[in-house]
Amino acid sequence: MEKIKSVRGMNDLLPGRSDVWYRVERMIREVVNSYGYREIRTPLLERTELFKRSIGEQTDIVEKEMYTFDDISGDSLTLRPEATAACVRAGIEHGFLHNQQHRLWYLGPMFRRERPQKGRYRQFQQFGIEALGWPGPDIDAEIMMVGTRLWRRLGLSQLTLEINTLGDPQSRGSYREALQAYLGRYREDLDPDSQRRLDRNPLRILDSKAPQTQQLLEEAPDLLSFIDGKSKDDFSLLQAILSENGIKFKVNSKLVRGLDYYTGPVFEWTTDLLGAQSAVCAGGRYDGLVSQLGGQPVPAAGFACGVERLVEVYETSAESVGSEQPDVWVCVIGDHSMSYALKNAEKLRDAGIETIINCGGGAVKRQLRRADQSGAQLVVVIGDDESMNGYVTVKSLREDGGQTQVNESNLADYVCARLREEQK
The binding site for ligand ATP (CB under 6 A) comprises 82, 112, 114, 120-121, 124, 126, 258, 277, 279-282, 304-306, 308-309
Distance CA 48, CA 25 (A): 29
For ligand ATP, the closer of residues 11 and 396 by Cβ is: 11
Q: Name the 3-class secondary structure at 144.
A: helix
Q: Name the 3-class secondary structure at 406.
A: strand
Nearest distance in Å: CB 84, ligand ATP: 9
The candidate with the shortest Cα–Cα distance to 305, out of 150, 86, 112, is 150
Alpha helix positions (H), 222-360: 229-244, 289-292, 307-316, 338-350
For ligand ATP, the closer of residues 122 and 395 by Cβ is: 122
For ligand ATP, the closer of residues 208 and 396 by Cβ is: 208
Nearest distance in Å: CB 34, ligand ATP: 22
Q: Name the 3-class secondary structure at 265.
A: strand
For ligand ATP, the closer of residues 10 and 388 by Cβ is: 10
CB 381 within 8 A of CB 354: no
Distance CA 283, CA 278 (A): 15
For ligand ATP, the closer of residues 52 and 309 by Cβ is: 309
Nearest distance in Å: CB 123, ligand ATP: 8
Nearest distance in Å: CB 127, ligand ATP: 9
Distance CA 252, CA 126 (A): 24
Q: Which amino acid is at 55?
A: I
Nearest distance in Å: CB 85, ligand ATP: 11
Nearest distance in Å: CB 92, ligand ATP: 21
E strand or H helix at 282, and its extent?
A: strand 279-285
- Cβ-based burial of 61 (10 A; exposed 0-12, middle 13-18, buried ≥19): buried
Nearest distance in Å: CB 309, ligand ATP: 5
For ligand ATP, the closer of residues 266 and 415 by Cβ is: 266
For ligand ATP, the closer of residues 171 and 271 by Cβ is: 271
For ligand ATP, the closer of residues 82 and 193 by Cβ is: 82
* Phi, psi of 230, rounded to the nearest 5 degrees: -60, -40
Nearest distance in Å: CB 140, ligand ATP: 16
Distance CA 70, CA 145 (A): 41
Asked if the bond preceding 137 is cis, omega within 30° of 0, the reply is: yes
